[in-house]
Amino acid sequence: MAINWFKYSAPTTFYGLAGKLIPWFAIFAAILFAIGLYIGFFVAPVDAQQGEFYRIIFIHVPASILSMFLYMIMAGYAALGLIFNTRLSAMMASAIAPTGALFALISLWTGALWGKPMWGAWWMWDARMTSELILLFLYLGFIALHASIDDPRRADRAAALLAIVGSVNVPIIYFSVKWWNTLHQGATIKFGGTSMHVAMQQSLFIMMLACWLYAIAVVLARVRSIILERERNTTWINDLQEVRS
Amino acid sequence: MKKSTMLGLLVLVIRRDLILAMRRRADVLTTLVFFVMVVSLFPLGVGPELSMLRKMAPGVLWVAALLASMLSLGRLFLADYLDGTLEQMMLAPQSLSMLVLGKMTAHWMVSGLPLVLMAPVLGLQFDMAGQALGVLIIGLLLGTPILSMIGAIGAALTLGLRGGGVLLSLLVLPLCIPVLIFGAGAVEAISSGLSIVSHLSLLGAMLVLALVFTPWVTAHALRISME
């Protein structure tokens, strides 16, 4: 039996598939968020060193990890779009960017909220925080470049190139910031040495999964609107039930 | 034969761009004056204590150099784009990457090199020591070409867009952060008696990396912008 691997790489078929998948991802994300937050707030014990404040990691850590992963995924889609000239890849890349930027912002925000009681300052020029901030700048650059080019094809390709250059630069930036920081002062805080409670691990894991599902649901919803916008002059869009009514 | 023609092409592009720049000397001077002004504003903003200024000097000079080099990037391809020369360059049988490398080099000679030459004078205003000044110049000599080359990618991507200048800075500045860190870090290291070899080696490595990849990426960006 021959499987058509590229069936869903066309916007025509992917539009319907995404529409069917979104509710599932959204529902599971909501359920997992509820479970994860419940365990995080009520089951997980109070931390010996950090008190109640540590509970912010249940959103902070997933947000940070997602913001980084989403950038690499975005750059991957951008590269696919640039190399194989597929329309959907570029649409996916531009659909991922706002969600990635949002997670980067959440990560910085929650980090600051955690930093104030723990370090006594909203912001430290810590290597990880600084590189997260730069990651947010890279997302904003991608979005701004895409938004300021009117021709969608040129916008896709230009933003794709920027995303690839950015992803090559991310490790260089990360290590330079790290060395810059260690040259100034020693590491401000170290996590090693304390083993996590099981309930904390569970909550963290569930929240991570919930954030992934949320990100997928939102990206799919956004890519559907992008497809509608880009393909508005085609017949299959005008034959859609939701467009007709 | 092939190699000599490539080199000849490079020299030709550099000469052409330098001649064009010399015909419009005001543009070159504006960048330099901007650099001097930004640096001079800092003591007015933070106060005239020499001990503090001495500590801030490398960072201030590097950030100002970064901003000044952003200023002139918009012009890198714009004139050639508007009068159609760029299109002819892309149709030319010679390698577009080589042409781009020539343009980058000329851009650095016009907008980067004057900053490097001006920096020691400004450093003296900040009461920098002689040794630190030397390291600053070496760092700038290694670093400013990288700024021109990374900036060229941004200039090619934003070619002919409205609000291109601000957008260009938004795209390029985050990518230039490593250069800033190691350039200013080298001066700080010598001031506190540490070795500068690692900083300058990393700057050199980035220069080589940029030299190999950026002309090629910029050529791609130009093709995207021109199609």
> pLDDT digits over A196-221, tens only?
677 888 888 899 999 999 999 999 99
Q: What's the mean per-residue pLDDT of chain A? A: 84
Confidence of residue B3 (pLDDT cuts 50, 70, 90): low
Q: Are the C-beta atoms of residues B69 and B148 closer than 8 Å to each other?
A: yes
Range B95-105 average pLDDT: 92
Count the Cβ atoms, other than its own, within 10 Å of residue B2: 6
Q: Quick: pLDDT tens for A57-72.
A: 888 889 988 998 999 9
* Highest mean pLDDT of the ranges A1-5, B3-7, B82-86: B82-86
The verdict on residue B205 lying in a domain is yes
Q: Is residue B167 part of a domain?
A: yes
Return the CA Rg of chain B: 18
Give chain A's end-to-end CA distance (angstroms, integer): 39
pLDDT value of residue A30: 94
Q: Which residues of B touch A154 (CB under 8 A)?
A: 224-225, 227
What local confidence, expressed as pLDDT, does residue A186 receive?
42
Burial pattern B21-33, b for ≥16 Cβ within 10 A else e, equals beeeeebbeebbe
First to last CA, chain B: 32
pLDDT of residue B2: 52
B39 in a structural domain: yes
Q: In whole angstroms, how far apart are CA B121 and each of B46, B117, B124, B180, B185?
A: 20, 8, 5, 20, 20
Number of domains forming the structure of chain B:
1
CA A14 to chain B, closest CA, distance in angstroms equals 27
| CB within 8 Å: B181 and A172 | no
The CA dihedral of B55, B113, A131, A166, to the nearest 10 degrees, is 180
Q: What is the pLDDT of residue A9?
A: 79
The answer to whether position B169 is within a domain reads yes
* DSSP states along A100-140: HHHHHHHHHHHHHHHHHHHHSSS----HHHHHHHHHHHHHH
Task: Dig out the tokens for A26 from the structure.
Answer: 């959204």
- Are residues A154 and B225, on separate chains, in Cβ contact within 8 Å? yes
The two three-digit tokens of residue A171, written as one number: 């490790």
Which sequence spans correspond to the domains of chain A?
Answer: 16-244
Show which of residues 119-178 on chain A sit within 8 Å of chain B, judged by CB atoms: 134, 137-138, 140-141, 144-145, 148-149, 154, 157-158, 161-162, 165-166, 169, 172-173, 176-177
Q: Is the pLDDT of residue B4 over 80?
A: no
pLDDT in tens, A67-118: 989 999 999 999 999 988 888 899 999 999 999 999 999 999 998 888 888 7
CA of residue A125 relative to chain centroid, distance: 23
* Token pair listed for A47: 């931390």
B20, part of any domain: yes
Q: Residue B110: count other Cβ atoms within 10 Å of its Cβ.
A: 24
Q: What confidence category does residue A12 fall into, taking pLDDT thresholds of 50, 70 and 90?
A: confident
Share of chain B above pLDDT 90, in %: 46
| Contact yes or no for A127/A178 (Cβ under 8 A) | yes
Residue B99's domain spans which residues? 6-226
Residue B1 counted as domain residue: no
